[in-house]
């Protein structure tokens, strides 16, 4: 295990200046450190040599780093009731693995990958010996943590294992994929738990008259309930993101989630029972507030503007957008069936598909306008733009065109695009517009936060633009050969796809007027060639070296820049494995003739 605490200075982590400012009072004891070491030794046996193990102080730093990283998004592990003394060893080890992966130093990251594997095996061993742990919150949190690490780690084997192991965790609500001898017991226990259902959650309200013991009990009960809510919705978002990025059907259904939305961030992060009560009592609320859920919002989207019941607006919007994403997935599957069926030319079917796409598009745009007014995170904008892009182009067709399924399928996909005159269609222009907006949103994401589905969304956006560029290039060559290309047919109007929408963009979207371009910044190779230091703030949208037309090589260069730009203090070969793989893949595609 290549992790020597005396050789790793916390201050050397490139993530450190951008870490969440969080104070956790807990301190990892030597006894708990030994407990973690014992779990590692018992799990790996003689397969791994462990000549040394990090100190309790350094493990404490890694655990807190793992918890703090989760606060960047949906914060589903409560930091202020966390106690290493009473926390399951498997969860502690999972948090150490998460802290290692987010540390930004390759040797530390490798150790995180090894610990993630150890956690996976340890959790499987635990459930085989005692399946009652499936109803234990800390077990479920540890399971979710190793899934999060594995699915986006960049190593094919680990990613495939993590993808296939999501289904057991979904049994928290209703899906069961365990060995046959435990199937009946698990199904009965978890259906009785009903954590996807609103009835599982009780209203817990602190009163001014509560004494210290009563208040402490209420706070801890509330934190446990809130932790379940946040875990359940994190599971849902994880499932939808994996569905889009790995091209497999979701394992959960948006119609199942009547779980109330998570509480506001300031209440969740209250450091003590008294602070929790003070924040709660300071907020004006109805005597009997309505606690909305994903199911409620999908039935009545207008209710998003009047959220009550202490709901966290940013998290609620994120959950809602993922729910709409699940419906976008359904639409795409229906469209693919219709496209290849005899009913393809049926006017009623086509009208229904167009109407459904327009409804979902309007819903995403309206929601995006609302969360922009409240300065929601750029990651959320990136997801919304990606879904709007996906509404207008089949990523399955795009990947076929790029050769994912072999040369024969690539030729068929190319013929289909050409036959439909895809680049001349309004849907294609909307697809590349939103692809450009994905890149724009990605540039605004804070450093070191593009590391999961969002990074793959950047790749898909670049790939969509790449296909558009290839087809436009072939069409231009054909027109030149036929003598049909005249100077007056070339529109000199520049239309930036990665900036705010204006008159030029509206003309392009509506009528195809103008030449679409992307902003080109200084990429890492340029900076290193000119001796410019890498230890600087990531590229902003204003730090550009000009614009480039939508040409295959240039598009992929821009996509690689966007990913590298989110890791300002990392060398060219020091990026996280998945980011490096995506960067290299885009460069390879950009070099194709």
Instruction: Convert the pLDDT of each residue in 213-257 to its tens digit.
Output: 999 999 999 999 999 999 999 999 999 999 999 998 998 899 989
Q: Report the SS3 class of residue 260.
A: strand
270 within some domain: no
Confidence check: pLDDT of 177 > 50: no
pLDDT of residue 478: 58
> Lowest-pLDDT range, 55-59, 102-106, 263-267?
102-106
135, 164, 190 - which closes a domain:
190
Residue 37 domain-assigned?
A: yes
The H or E element containing residue 200 is none
Q: Which phi-psi region, left, alpha or beta, contains residue 273 (left: φ > 0; alpha: ψ -120 to 50)?
A: alpha
Is 77 within a domain? yes
Contact 154, 577 (CB under 8 A): yes
H/E segment holding residue 588:
helix 577-591
Measured between its terminal Cα atoms, the distance across the chain in Å is 43
Q: Domain end: 190, 213, 230, which one? A: 190
Answer yes or no: is pLDDT of 579 > 60. yes
Q: Any residues with CB less than 8 A from the CB of 296 and at least 6 apart, and which?
A: 258, 303
**H runs (alpha helix) in 497-551:** 503-511, 524-529
Distance CA 88, CA 106 (A): 27
Q: What is the pLDDT of residue 13?
A: 67
Return d(Cα 461, Cα 435) in angstroms, integer: 4
pTM for this entry: 0.90
Tell whether the torsion through CA atoms of 378, 381, 385 and 391 is positive or negative: positive
Whether residue 305 is contained in a domain is answered as: no
As given in the structure block, the two tokens for residue 190 are 């978890």
Q: Does the pLDDT value for residue 487 go beyond 60?
A: no
Q: Can you tell me the distance from the alpha carbon of 510 to that of 515, in angstroms, rounded to the nearest whole number?
A: 13
The tens digit of pLDDT for each residue in 381-416 reads 999 999 999 999 999 999 999 999 999 999 999 999
Strands (E), 171-326: none
- Could you tell me if residue 248 is inside a domain? no
What's residue 1's pLDDT? 56
Which pLDDT score, from 0 to 100, does residue 59 have? 94
Cβ-based neighbour number of residue 588 at 10 Å: 10
Of 112, 118, 52, 53, the residue nearest 90 (C-alpha): 118
Determine the average pLDDT of the residues in 307-321: 87
Report pLDDT for 479. 57
Closest CA to 426 of 332, 549, 511: 511
* Range of lowest pLDDT (7-11, 249-253, 359-363): 7-11
- Among the residue ranges 43-57, 315-329, 468-482, 546-560, the one predicted with the least confidence is 468-482
Predicted confidence at residue 525, as pLDDT, reads 53
Is there a contact between 60 and 95 (Cβ–Cβ < 8 Å)? Answer: no
Q: What is the mean pLDDT of the chain?
A: 85
Decide the pairing of beta strands 494-496 and 547-549.
unpaired
Q: What is the pLDDT of residues 513-540, one digit of tens each?
A: 999 999 987 555 555 444 444 434 343 4
pLDDT at 190 over 50: no
194-218: average pLDDT:
93
> What is the C-alpha to C-alpha distance for residues 256 and 283, in angstroms, rounded to an integer?
30
462: pLDDT confidence band, cut at 50, 70 and 90? very high
Phi, psi of 548 (to 5 degrees): -130, 145
- pLDDT-wise least confident of 277-291, 319-333, 443-457: 277-291
Provide the CA 218 distance to its chain's centre, in angstroms.
33
How many Å apart are CA 105 and CA 62, to the nearest integer? 12
> Is residue 130 assigned to a domain?
yes
Determine the average pLDDT of the residues in 413-437: 95
**Does residue 483 surpass a pLDDT of 70?**
no
Last residue of a domain, one of 190, 206, 236: 190
The structural domain count of the chain equals: 2
Q: Summarize the confidence of residues 558-577 as an average pLDDT.
A: 90
Residue 417: is its pLDDT beyond 80?
yes
Residue 370 resides in a domain: no
What pLDDT, on the 0 to 100 scale, is given for residue 176?
37
Determine phi and psi for 517, rounding to 5 degrees.
-140, 165
CA 154/CA 580 separation, integer angstroms: 8
pLDDT for 50 equals 80
Structure tokens given for 46: 């003689």
Range of the domain at 114: 5-190
Does residue 585 sit within a domain? yes
Q: Give residue-wise pLDDT tens across range 122-169.
A: 998 998 898 888 889 999 899 899 999 999 998 888 888 887 777 666
């Amino acid at each position: 295990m290549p992790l020597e605490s005396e050789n790793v200075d916390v201050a050397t982590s490139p993530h450190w200046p951008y870490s969440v400012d969080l104070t956790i009072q807990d301190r990892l004891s030597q006894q708990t450190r030994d407990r973690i070491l014992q779990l590692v030794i018992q799990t790996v046996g003689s397969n791994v040599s462990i000549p040394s193990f990090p100190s309790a102080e350094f493990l404490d730093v890694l655990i807190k780093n793992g918890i703090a990283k989760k606060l960047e998004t949906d914060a589903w592990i409560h930091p202020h009731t966390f106690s290493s003394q009473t926390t399951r060893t498997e969860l502690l080890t999972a948090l150490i693995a998460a802290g290692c992966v987010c540390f930004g130093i390759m040797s530390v990251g490798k150790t995180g990958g090894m610990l993630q594997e150890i956690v996976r095996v340890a959790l499987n061993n635990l459930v085989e010996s005692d399946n009652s742990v499936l109803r234990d919150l800390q077990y479920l949190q540890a399971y979710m943590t190793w899934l999060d690490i594995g699915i986006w780690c960049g190593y094919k084997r680990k990613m495939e294992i993590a993808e296939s192991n999501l289904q057991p965790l979904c049994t928290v609500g209703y899906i069961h994929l365990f060995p046959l001898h435990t199937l009946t017991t698990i199904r009965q226990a978890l259906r009785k738990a009903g954590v996807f259902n609103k009835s599982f959650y009780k209203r817990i309200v602190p009163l001014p008259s509560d004494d210290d013991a009563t208040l402490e009990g209420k706070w801890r009960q509330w934190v446990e309930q809130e932790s379940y809510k946040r875990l359940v919705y994190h599971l849902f978002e994880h499932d939808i993101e994996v569905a889009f990025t790995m091209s497999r059907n979701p394992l959960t259904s948006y119609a199942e989630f009547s779980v109330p939305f998570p509480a506001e961030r300031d209440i969740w992060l209250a450091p003590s029972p008294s602070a929790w009560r003070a924040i709660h009592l300071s907020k004006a609320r109805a005597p009997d507030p309505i606690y909305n859920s994903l199911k409620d919002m999908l039935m009545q989207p207008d209710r998003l503007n009047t959220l009550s019941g202490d709901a966290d607006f940013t998290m609620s919007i994120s959950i809602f957008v993922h729910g709409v994403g699940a419906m976008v997935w359904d639409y795409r599957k229906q469209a693919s069936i219709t496209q290849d069926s005899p009913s393809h030319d049926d006017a009623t079917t086509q009208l229904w598909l167009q109407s459904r796409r327009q409804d979902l598009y309007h819903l995403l745009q309206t929601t995006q306008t609302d969360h922009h007014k409240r300065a929601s995170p750029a990651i959320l904008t990136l997801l919304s733009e990606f879904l709007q892009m996906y509404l207008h182009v089949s990523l399955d067709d795009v990947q076929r065109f790029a050769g994912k399924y072999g040369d024969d399928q690539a030729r068929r996909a190319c013929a289909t695009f050409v036959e439909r005159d895809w680049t001349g269609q309004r849907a294609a222009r909307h697809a590349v517009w939103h692809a450009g907006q994905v890149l724009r949103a990605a540039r605004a994401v804070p450093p070191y936060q593009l590391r999961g589905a969002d990074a793959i969304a950047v790749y898909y956006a670049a790939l969509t633009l790449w296909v558009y560029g290839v087809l436009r290039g072939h069409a231009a060559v054909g027109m030149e050969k036929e003598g049909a290309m005249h100077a007056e047919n070339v529109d000199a109007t520049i239309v930036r796809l990665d900036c705010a929408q204006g008159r030029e963009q509206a003309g392009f979207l509506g009528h195809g007027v103008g030449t679409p371009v992307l902003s080109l910044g200084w990429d890492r190779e340029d900076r290193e060639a000119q001796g410019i230091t890498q230890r600087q703030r990531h590229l902003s949208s204003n730090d550009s070296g000009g614009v480039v037309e939508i040409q295959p090589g240039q598009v992929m260069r821009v996509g690689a820049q966007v990913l590298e730009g989110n890791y300002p203090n990392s060398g060219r070969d020091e990026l996280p494995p998945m980011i490096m793989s995506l960067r290299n893949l885009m460069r390879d595609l950009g070099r194709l003739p």
